[in-house]
Amino acid sequence: MGLAAGGAAEQRQWPPLNNDGVHDPASPAVKLLQDPAEALSKLPPDTTGNQVRWVEALEKGSINPRTNVFPETKVTVLDLDVFLSLRGGMPIVRFPHRQHTEWLDCANCHEHLFKSKAGANKFSMFQILQGEQCGVCHGAVAFPLTECNRCHSVPHAGFDHSRQTGKQD
């Protein structure tokens, strides 16, 4: 289920476009477009999703994706961790703004998906699994929702509650 890690690089396989179940093998595109394996096999390995650690790929410079095609929004990196799910049975969620703002604009999430005010959001795994809240991206293009511990990553024991910038029930 993708919770295992390590040793993934050699085992990775991507279905070729002419046999991926979605492309029409009769379409001229399957001979002309890049196959996923050609691009993704060079990037830091993961065990799930695209089998690529996208954040790591960006941080290491394995990829250098453009920030603009028009001079519209600027990349505004915010280095702020928000801690959520402080009283649940699962480990505490650490939401790192930095990694998210390298890819996304503030307006992609604020204020319609999430209020900026700490504690103003009511998170629900029901909604996330249905493609709302974090599930707009996680489970569709960002790492899948089967990777529980990547978000629920901070043990309750020893957690410094003065850090709880995303205070909630």
Partner 1 sequence: MFVRRKAITKAGKLGVVLLAALGLVMDPPVAQAEYGDVVINNYSDAAGMRPVIFPHWFHRVRFRCKVCHADLGFKFKAGGNEINMVKIIDGEYCGACHNGEIAWSVENCNLCHSAKPGTPTQVHESTTQRLVSPSAPAKQ
Stretch that binds partner 1, among 47-55, 79-87, 114-122, 150-158 (CB under 8 A): 47-55
Cα–Cα distance, 140 to 37 (Å, whole number): 19
Q: Is beta strand 92-96 parallel, antiparallel or unpaired with respect to 152-154?
A: antiparallel
Q: Say if residues 146 and 4 touch (Cβ distance below 8 Å).
A: no
95 binds partner 1 (CB under 8 A): no
Dump the DSSP string for 68-109: -SSS-SPP-----EEEE-TTSSSPEEEEEHHHHHHHS-HHHH
Q: Find out whether the peptide bond into 72 is cis, omega within 30 degrees of 0.
A: no
Which of 5, 29, 80, 90 binds partner 1 (CB under 8 A)? It is 29
Rank residues 81 and 132 by Cβ distance to partner 1 and give the closer one: 132
30 binds partner 1 (CB under 8 A): yes
Longest dimension (CA), the chain: 60
Rank residues 37 and 86 by Cβ distance to partner 1 and give the closer one: 37
CB of 11 to partner 1, least distance (A): 14
Q: Say if residues 76 and 104 touch (Cβ distance below 8 Å).
A: no
**Subset of 116-155 contacting partner 1 (CB under 8 A):** 125-126, 129-131, 135-141, 144-146
Q: How many CB atoms lie within 10 A of CB 108?
A: 14
78 binds partner 1 (CB under 8 A): no
What pairs with residue 45 in β-bridges?
52
Please count the residues of this chain forming the interface with partner 1, following the rule CB under 8 A. Answer: 54
CB of 157 to partner 1, least distance (A): 27
CB of 159 to partner 1, least distance (A): 27
Query: Which spans of this chain sit near partner 1 (rule: CB under 8 A)?
Result: 1, 14-15, 20-24, 27-30, 32-34, 36, 39-40, 43, 49-50, 52, 54, 63, 65-70, 72-73, 75, 102-105, 107-108, 125-126, 129-131, 135-141, 144-146
